Amino acid sequence: MFCQVLLAAVFAAAVFGKARSRTAFASFTRDLPRFGLPGGSAAAPVGLGIVLAEAATVGLLFAVPLSGFLLALVMLLGFSTGIAIALRRGERVPCRCFGSSRNPVGVPHLIRNGLLAGAAIVGALIELAWSGGQPETALRLVAAILGALSGLLLTRWDDLLFALRGTRSTHS
């Protein structure tokens, strides 16, 4: 439950951040080529596909958890690959992961994605190994609350880094 809620909170925030307005979506799609994805007339359909896949991840995490964990893992690996491409090219691309940061992507974003990928792997392994039945309702509630709070922290990653090391955050 913790992994489900954590990943669902992060992916829901990503969907909202990118799709909350035409301007946010246009900013997101404008930067796609800098991550090694198609630009021009293909950018909007590719961007829409990413947003729809993020939304599908949220739904699958609760409807078919194993599929949701696997899709989350694939998405996170894809995002990390895009960040690595941008870094290798020397691009200073703003992190539009949740729609509002102007901070350029970097190693901290790869670390965040690694933590989330770890949650997807752990969730998938637990889902595969679970012998049936459901844990106590109270335990599920605690796991859901902790997952939601962790998701909130990870969606504010740039601000968290600022608090820890004093790097200026430029969330709007």
What are the pLDDT digits (tens) for 149-168? Answer: 777 767 766 666 666 666 44
What are the pLDDT digits (tens) for 62-115? Answer: 999 999 999 999 999 999 999 999 999 998 988 877 766 677 888 888 988 998
| 47 domain residue, yes or no | yes
| 172 domain residue, yes or no | no
| 81 domain residue, yes or no | yes
Which tokens go with 106?
Answer: 């970097």
| 46 domain residue, yes or no | yes
pTM of the model: 0.77
Residues 160, 19: contact at Cβ < 8 Å?
no
Work out whether the CA dihedral 102, 105, 111, 114 comes out positive or negative.
positive
Domain that holds residue 68: 2-165
| 28 domain residue, yes or no | yes
Among residues 49, 47, 15, the alpha carbon closest in space to that of 30 is found at 47
Quickly tell me which residue has 């996170």 as its tokens: 76
